Structure 1
């Protein structure tokens, strides 16, 4: 059966845009997690986004399921075997400094701006419309198609853990629209490491930097009890051409400095604002256990050299360590790390090294979620099918499948890999201000996904 999927997407552009605007305009940042809040365990905004997508599915005649507001799915067909997709509707905090409102869904210069346009509301809607095109055309298929809707990808994956616990059936093939084209067959292992400690009283009264462990902090705030530092901080900002400011708060000074955010999988692409502030402390001689821990094991080190976990795999790249959250108040502090490891690293030894390093300073180390490494044979039939769909529309005939330091829901569902939607050699503002999706690329991704689903499910 010969289907012109580009033409089918073009016919639906107006409807697609209307649905996309409505989805992006929902603020679906995590508020709090409360399992006793039955109608919205991750907060009202996230549940609004889930309801929005499920209602679109109902509107278009699909079978839908709400998994107790933790997740949901939209499904086409009743065959025993299925081809699966998993997207997510939660987003990281918008942060500040946007050129357009982060939940405005503003279209300018062929792009739509907004938190979630590329990670991952836009791609989730692209996967939905790919499935819808097949349903509209009543294409004969031998397998069901199911789009699972996650709501907690950016934090702890409680959504998919809950979903697959209660609906454990696994696909014969599947993809996750939350990465890059042409395709990602290997994903680094990801940890969450929380370092906690106590300070003796010092000039540093409070420190606050970072929103999530998987984001490079783009702002740091410190309150110090020494007003004589005002001119020194201003000179520090001027000397290094950093953006920041200083103000007075009673007997204290409030110091603020800006860095550059980036995804936690690529911390070297950002500028960690907390580290910039610590460089100032080092210049003026402010020290305590919190600053010592940063200097000893973290400062300006995105590869884990100081901790002793650095390693480079030729296929998957290096170990990375993002220090994403720094909190100090009432002489108690917490630093949250986001380390990632490639093939060739023993996970247990890797984890132990973090525990050994920080405990040597008398600090407590707590381990959060551990997403183990994903690796699928790049020569498998499923990957060859997906690669051919990408090449057919992109004309990128020399494309090779990729590995990444990022983590996707491909780890949550068997027989799956990450597949688009970001095209090669294009800038990305995922987890940064001014996140956008290029609309021509967005529409092309729908055609690619539709063809891929057809090939996998026919």
Structure 2
């Protein structure tokens, strides 16, 4: 068979691309089992000290991937349990096409093993990985355990075929991408390990993502002064699981002399709106629970915020505490069901990325304070100060303070950047999609953690958006297709 020299790569067969793609088909059952094993670990961040900085379950998921890689003959690195990587070494060749020395260049693939809480309402167990009608169900199936498995088996296919890359290929395993911790794990990793020269992260959608909106996470806090006034009392109000999720539940506990009027108001509200909100007596209190639909905080229009349902209903009640009344009034007048920050003064937009996106992920009210945890995605040409400045008149009017929790600046890579061009070419080769162009997303990925990195995959156009939602799942056929795309991208970028 005729051989040729491709770039700095070792002498390889012209048909190697077809062979490593065929290998991926043969890995199908292995990949399903590997993903099921990874999904069975409920790797929600829950810090437990220096040895397991992100908790036992995240640590177990991390060790699972390292063990899988070592079993397949890959080198692995664990950086003090804050993160690590799986490496496929690259080599420089001499004039004869023989291995001369290890490459000093590195290509990265950035993934994460932590997941958001499972929420409620699943049709299948969230930590089982059950396969139904060609889809594998479980928390992390698409965000980001399925893509991690796909990227790993893309590397394995090339390695098993005998490909010797001209650059090191490094699958970097992050452990706290979802936790709102400011990516302490990735920061610790890059403080000890040199960042790759370029990278992609399969933590979004196809085709290539050339820009990501800026992200703010903060709390809006209002003090609740105690009152001795008689009347309806809001004793507590909680809802939501994470800043970057649309809240799918909210629970209020109310105390009043009589609940007849409240129940009547609730019945009327349900009839008018059709929302899922119900009440039941608990001792001397009345518990009200609203149910919504969870979705990713970057795409809140795909969900229905239970906090907004609850607050809209509570506005129909007469609360004795003036601070509680003002809090509810503020929410409904300036947040409500508006997803773009227009009513709170930060409804910004630009031509590159469109409208700012506003999501209330959590609420927590007791007898001393009320807190809203807010997740904003702001346009790439806007600065964070413009967002805060726009809100301040409304916050000052209602005596709210701001606690800034996290900020990730927007990223922008031109569409004609060589990395974007290569990723788009491979995507088009495998899908025949000549219409789609590089995207701008509101989601925040590890592409922000280093220079010269972009998001790429792994959801295909037209697929339902299931990240952070109940019944998160992945098409096994599409996982195989994505694995082939990743393998081809690795090949093209390191040959």
**TM-score surpassing 0.5?**
yes
Query: Which of 47, 50, 53 does residue 59 from structure 2 map onto?
Result: 47
- For residues 425-444 of structure 1, give each alpha carbon's deviation from its aligned partner in whole angstroms, at most 9, with x where no partner exists: 11121111000001110010
Q: Note if 1:326 corresponds to 2:363.
A: yes
Deviation larger for 225-234 or 207-216: 225-234
SS in 2 for 1:334: strand
Give the Cα separation in 2 of the matches to 1:277 and 1:223.
11
Deviation larger for 87-96 or 308-317: 308-317
SS in 1 for 2:84: strand
* Residue matched to 1:147: 171
| Residues 27-426 of structure 1 aligned to structure 2 (within 5 Å) | 27-31=42-46, 33-34=47-48, 37-77=49-89, 78-155=102-179, 156=181, 157-167=183-193, 169-200=194-225, 201=227, 203-226=233-256, 227-228=259-260, 229-286=262-319, 287-426=324-463
- Does the 8 Å CA contact 1:199/1:289 hold for their aligned counterparts? no
- For residues 183-207 of structure 1, give each alpha carbon's deviation from its aligned partner in whole angstroms, at most 9, with x where no partner exists: 1110000001111122244621110
Give the Cα separation in 2 of the matches to 1:292 and 1:241.
22
- Does the 8 Å CA contact 1:324/1:337 hold for their aligned counterparts? yes
Deviation larger for 71-80 or 181-190: 71-80
* Cα drift, residue 350 of structure 1: 1.9
Give the Cα separation in 2 of the matches to 1:428 and 1:60.
32
Give the Cα separation in 2 of the matches to 1:455 and 1:18.
28
Deviation larger for 265-274 or 441-450: 265-274
* Cα drift, residue 356 of structure 1: 4.8
Give the Cα separation in 2 of the matches to 1:362 and 1:45.
40
Go from structure 1 to structure 2 and tell me whether the alpha carbon gap of 1:135 and 1:100 turns closer, same or farther (over 3 Å shift).
same
Question: TM-score under structure 2 normalisation?
Answer: 0.89
Cα RMSD for the two superposed structures: 1.5
* Cα drift, residue 414 of structure 1: 1.6
Deviation larger for 99-108 or 5-14: 5-14
Give the Cα separation in 1 of the matches to 2:397 and 2:377.
22
* Cα drift, residue 39 of structure 1: 2.4
Give the Cα separation in 1 of the matches to 2:393 and 2:195.
39
Deviation larger for 284-293 or 11-20: 284-293
Residue segments in structure 2 that go unaligned for 5+ positions in a row: 1-13, 90-101
- Does the 8 Å CA contact 1:218/1:259 hold for their aligned counterparts? yes
Residue segments in structure 1 that go unaligned for 5+ positions in a row: none
Go from structure 1 to structure 2 and tell me whether the alpha carbon gap of 1:232 and 1:356 turns closer, same or farther (over 3 Å shift).
closer
Give the Cα separation in 2 of the matches to 1:411 and 1:26.
27
Give the Cα separation in 2 of the matches to 1:241 and 1:301.
19
- Does the 8 Å CA contact 2:239/2:306 hold for their aligned counterparts? yes
Give the Cα separation in 2 of the matches to 1:82 and 1:13.
28
Give the Cα separation in 2 of the matches to 1:354 and 1:72.
40
Give the Cα separation in 1 of the matches to 2:159 and 2:21.
16
- Does the 8 Å CA contact 1:95/1:433 hold for their aligned counterparts? yes
- Does the 8 Å CA contact 2:377/2:442 hold for their aligned counterparts? yes
Larger radius of gyration: 2
Give the Cα separation in 2 of the matches to 1:354 and 1:190.
16
- For residues 153-197 of structure 1, give each alpha carbon's deviation from its aligned partner in whole angstroms, at most 9, with x where no partner exists: 002211111111121x23232100100001111000000111112
Q: How many pairs were matched up? A: 454
SS in 1 for 2:293: coil
* Residue matched to 2:32: 17
- Does the 8 Å CA contact 1:197/1:289 hold for their aligned counterparts? no
Question: TM-score under structure 1 normalisation?
Answer: 0.96
Give the Cα separation in 2 of the matches to 1:17 and 1:375.
35
* Cα drift, residue 79 of structure 1: 1.7
- Does the 8 Å CA contact 2:254/2:285 hold for their aligned counterparts? yes
Give the Cα separation in 2 of the matches to 1:353 and 1:300.
19
SS in 1 for 2:363: strand
